[in-house]
Amino acid sequence: MKGFFKAVVWIVIVVAALVGVYFVLPEYPQDFVKSVVQPIVDAESQVRVQQVQSLLVKELDNASYKTILEAKSKNPCWAYEKNEETGVETVTFHGRGLTINLKDWTEYSGLLSTNATVKVEFVITGGKQVDIHTYVDDTLMEIVDAKDSHQEENKKIRLEILKQVYLGSGLEG
């Protein structure tokens, strides 16, 4: 009986340590772990992630977001989160090791990253409306103002980033 009690205590200690380590991890590693575990334990998350992955981008040969975002990404991961109070759902994609060349986009200071982490957030409100936000190396790649008057510019930069993630930036060796 004493050996059983010791085993239970050690299991509790190990689980507590793993949970503690998980919560101090940065966003990408947390989402990577979540992308592995979540589909197993949460059917709703798996359905929502698959729905977002299957959305098509007509400007890129009607390719799905899954195809576009995972084409050249290293360690791609998808995570799902739902705010129970507001009902807003967020599906987040993370991809690493990408080359993003925005040298001709003065709004973004001619950004050139040869080992970028790209994050794409799909924010679902009302069950149907999807707003998409792109980040390169944790920097939001859109112009935000109180009037939301930059929708077209934001769409153009988002498409440029998606194109480079999918097809490459032209700088790859």
Digit-coded pLDDT (tens) for 123-157:
999 878 899 999 998 888 887 776 666 788 888 88
Tell how far CA 159 is from the center of its chain.
Answer: 16
Is residue 91 assigned to a domain? yes
Read off the pLDDT of each residue in 34-62 and give the average, rounded to a whole number. Answer: 83
| pTM (predicted TM-score) | 0.76
Residue 70: inside a domain:
yes
Residue 125, in any domain of the structure? yes
In a domain, 58, yes or no: yes
Structure tokens that stand for 124 in this block: 């679902």
Residue-number span of the structural domain to which 120 is assigned: 27-167
With pLDDT > 70 as the criterion, what percentage of the chain qualifies?
77
| Residue 147: inside a domain | yes
Domains of the chain: total? 1
Higher pLDDT, residue 12 or 46: 46
